[in-house]
Amino acid sequence: MQHADADSVLGDFADATFTYGKVTSTFFRRAGDYFVRTDGADGKLAEFQVRYTFGVSPLQQYLVEFPDGRVQALGIAWDSRPAADGGQRWFHLYPDDQVDHDDELHWTSPQQNWNFQCAECHSTNLEKNYDPAANRFATTWTDIDVGCEACHGPGGDHLDWVGQDPAGRDADSEKGWAFSLPGALDTAWPIDPDSGSPKPKSAQAAGGEIGICADCHSRRASLAGASESEPQFLNHHMPALLTEGLYHEDGQIQDEVFVWGSFTQSRMYEAGVTCGNCHDPHSQRLHAPGDAVCAQCHLPAKFATPAHHHHPLDSPGASCIDCHMPETVYMVVDPRRDHSIRVPRPDLSVGLGTPNACNRCHSDRSAEWAAGQTARWYPDGLGGQQTWTPAFAAARAGNPAAEAQLVAVLQDKAIPDIGRATALLELRAFLSPASGDALQNAMSDVSPLVRIAGLRALEVLPPEQRYPFAAPLLDDPLLAVRVEAGRVLAAVPEASLSVGERTKLRRAVAQYIRSQEHHADRADARTNLGNLFLQRGDLVRAEAEFRKAMELEPTFAPAYANLSDLYRARGRDDLAEEVLAEGIALQPESAAQHHAMGLLQVRSGNSAAGLEALGEAVRLNPDDARFAYVYGIALNSTGSPERSLEVLESALASHPYDREILLALVTINRDQGHIETARQHARRMLEIRPDDPQARQLAASLR
- Note the pLDDT tens digit of each residue in 17-38: 999 999 999 999 999 999 999 9
The phi-psi region of residue 305 (left if phi > 0; otherwise alpha if psi is between -120 and 50; otherwise beta) is: beta
437 Cβ contact list (under 8 Å, min separation 6): none
Q: Return the pLDDT at 227.
A: 64
Say what the pLDDT of residue 22 is: 94
Task: Evaluate the CA torsion angle 350, 352, 357, 363 in order and state its sign.
Answer: positive
Instruction: Quote the pLDDT of residue 639.
Output: 94
163 CB contacts (<8 Å, ≥6 apart)? none
Sequence-ordered list of residues with C-beta below 8 angstroms from that of 448, at least 6 positions apart, any chain = 234, 476, 478, 480, 481
Q: What does the pLDDT read at residue 205?
A: 44
76 DSSP β-pair partners: 92
Which amino acid belongs to residue 440?
Q
**115 against 160, higher pLDDT:** 115
Calpha distance 533→48 (Å, rounded): 40
> Which pLDDT does position 206 carry in this prediction?
41
Q: What angle is formed at CA 526 by the lines to CA 522 and CA 532, rounded to 5 degrees?
A: 150
Residue 186, pLDDT above cutoff 60: no
Are 125 and 156 a contacting pair, CB within 8 Å?
no
Closest CA to 51 of 120, 171, 139: 139
User: How does residue 180 score in pLDDT terms, banded at 50, 70 and 90?
Assistant: confident
pLDDT at residue 182, rounded to an integer: 57
- Residue 134's φ and ψ, nearest 5 degrees, are -95, -10
Q: What is the pLDDT of the chain when averaged over all its residues?
A: 93
* b/e 204-229 (16+ beta carbons within 10 angstroms → b): ebbebbbbbbbbbbbbbbebbbbeee
> What gap in Å lies between CA 380 and CA 57, rounded to an integer?
43
Name the pLDDT band for 404 (thresholds 50, 70, 90): very high
Q: According to the model, what pLDDT value does residue 671 have?
A: 96
Query: Cα separation of 157 and 153, whole Å?
Result: 10
CA distance 397 to 405: 13
Residue-wise pLDDT tens digits, 258-308: 999 999 999 999 988 889 889 998 888 999 999 999 999 999 999 999 999
The Cα–Cα gap between 58 and 37 comes to 24
What are the C-alpha distances in Å from 96 to residues 41, 86, 93, 676? 21, 18, 9, 47
* pLDDT score at 167: 82
Q: pLDDT at residue 481 above 90?
A: yes
Q: Residue 58: is the preceding peptide bond cis (ω within 30°)?
A: yes
**Residue 271 to residue 264: CA distance in whole angstroms:** 11
C-alpha 316 chain-centroid distance: 31
Percent of the chain with pLDDT over 70: 96
User: Could you tell me which residue, 205 or 652, shows the higher pLDDT?
Assistant: 652
The answer to whether residues 467 and 443 touch, using CB atoms and an 8 Å cutoff, is no
Q: Are 391 and 406 in contact (CB under 8 A)?
A: yes
Strand partners, 24: 19
Alpha helix segments (H runs only) across 570-673: 573-586, 591-603, 607-620, 625-637, 641-654, 659-671
Count of all residues that appear for the chain in the document:
703
Q: Which long-range contacts (CB under 8 A, 24 or more apart) does 467-473 make?
A: 467/492, 467/496, 467/497, 469/439, 469/440, 469/443, 470/443, 471/501, 471/504, 472/443, 472/444, 473/443
pLDDT band at 187 (very low <50, low <70, confident <90, very high): low
Tens of pLDDT, residue by residue over 198-237, are 876 654 444 578 989 999 999 999 998 766 666 789 999 9
Residue 452: which H helix or E strand, with range? helix 448-457
- Please state, in angstroms and rounded to a whole number, the distance separating the CA atoms of residues 469 and 466: 6
Q: Binning pLDDT at 50, 70 and 90, where does residue 175 land?
A: confident
- Dist. CA 321–CA 308, nearest whole Å: 14
Dihedral sign computed on CA atoms, order 403, 408, 411, 414: negative
The predicted model scores a pTM of 0.94
Cα torsion 454, 459, 461, 465: sign = positive
Q: Which pLDDT band, with edges at 50, 70 and 90, does 165 fall under?
A: confident
The pLDDT value recorded for residue 179 is: 77
The 3-state DSSP class for residue 49 equals strand
**pLDDT exceeds 80 at position 184:** no
Strand ranges inside 31-182, DSSP E: 33-39, 45-54, 59-65, 71-73, 76-79, 89-92, 130-131, 136-137
Q: Which residues pair with 221 in a beta bridge?
A: 238
Output phi, psi for 287, to 5 deg.
-65, -20
Query: What is the 3 state secondary structure string of 376-439?
Result: HHCCCCCCCCCCCHHHHHHHHHCCCCHHHHHHHHHHCCCCCHHHHHHHHHHHCCCCCHHHHHHH
Task: Give 467's pLDDT tier (boundaries 50, 70, 90).
Answer: very high
Confidence of residue 58 (pLDDT cuts 50, 70, 90): very high
